Amino acid sequence: MKVTFARHGIPDIVHSDNGPCYSSQEFADFKTKWGFKHVTSSPHFPSSNGLVEKAVQTVKNIISKSIESGTDPYLGLLAYRSTPLDNHKSPAELLMGRTLKTDLPVVENQLNVKDSKAVVAWKTKKKEIQKAYHDREAKPLPPLKQGEMVRIYDQKKLMWGEKATVKEKIAIRSYTVETKDKVQYRRNRKQLRKITSGHNETSGETSRDKVVTLE
């Protein structure tokens, strides 16, 4: 990370999964010294870190196809970073504010630094539209309170598993829960089904997303 930060600057927030390297004291010291906030996704819930997962898969496909065809994988990565996205800007333009020169012919003035304000406005508008669509189609699950009893969804057995007690709300839809054996887990709200006082368990699904489809 230091190499990337030294080249592009220190970000305000670093998003990652819950890999062991991110829970070490060394990383905690690094985070404090370099002054950035670390936000992790919910364990066993890849969709909460979907943007990164998709990017990793895209890069793997580029490298795999380059090896199969005998072409230079770095040229493949350069082409990907220079190809406009649905906002008409390439990843390189979004990061550096300019178009990269590739092995394809290009008009010289197209390599000049461009204003990114229009892109920021476009992304903000797109997020608003996506949120409005999601809010219209999906029924949000009610938040859980500290001390409430829940069942944890078992990713391997694809069924609701052991009971646990809600200990803390980590993020908007992420909670820490504790089993009767005092083992704590962090789970997304979709992976937790509330148990009522009458022992009837409320649904752990939204109107669109079935919990059994979690991967």
The predicted pLDDT at position 115 comes to: 62
100 and 158 fall within a common domain: no
This prediction's pTM: 0.50
Q: Which domain holds residue 153?
A: 148-194
CATH number for position 79: 3.30.420.10
37 and 88 inside one domain: yes
Whether 214 is covered by a domain: the verdict is no
Outline where DSSP puts E strands in 61-215.
149-154, 159-171, 174-179, 184-188, 192-194
Share of the chain above pLDDT 90, in %: 46
Q: Do 108 and 31 reside in the same domain of the chain?
A: yes
Q: What is the mean pLDDT of the chain?
A: 83
Helical H segments across the chain, by residue range = 2-8, 25-34, 50-69, 73-82, 91-96, 117-137
Q: Does any domain span residue 101?
A: yes
Q: Are 94 and 190 contained in the same domain?
A: no
- Do 103 and 155 sit in the same domain of this protein? no
Number of domains in the chain: 2
Q: What is the arithmetic mean of pLDDT over 154-177?
A: 92
Both 104 and 1 in a single domain? yes
Q: Give 63-113 pLDDT, tens digit per residue.
A: 999 999 999 999 999 999 999 888 788 888 888 888 888 887 776 766 665
Predicted confidence at residue 202, as pLDDT, reads 47
Q: Is residue 209 part of a domain?
A: no
Same domain for 69 and 152, yes or no, is: no
Q: Please check whether residues 18 and 107 belong to one and the same domain.
A: yes
Residue 169: CB partners within 8 Å, gap ≥ 6?
143, 144, 146, 175, 176
Q: Do 84 and 2 reside in the same domain of the chain?
A: yes
Rounded Cα distance between 67 and 59, Å, is: 12
- Mean pLDDT across the stretch 139-155? 92
pLDDT digits (tens, 9 = 90+) for 168-188: 999 888 999 999 999 999 999
Report whether pLDDT(204) > 60. Answer: no
Considering the domain architecture, whether residues 14 and 108 belong to the same structural domain is answered as yes
Is 12 domain-assigned? yes
Residues 93 and 166 in one domain: no
Evaluate whether residue 124 is within a structural domain.
no
Which SS3 state, helix, strand or coil, does residue 77 take?
Answer: helix
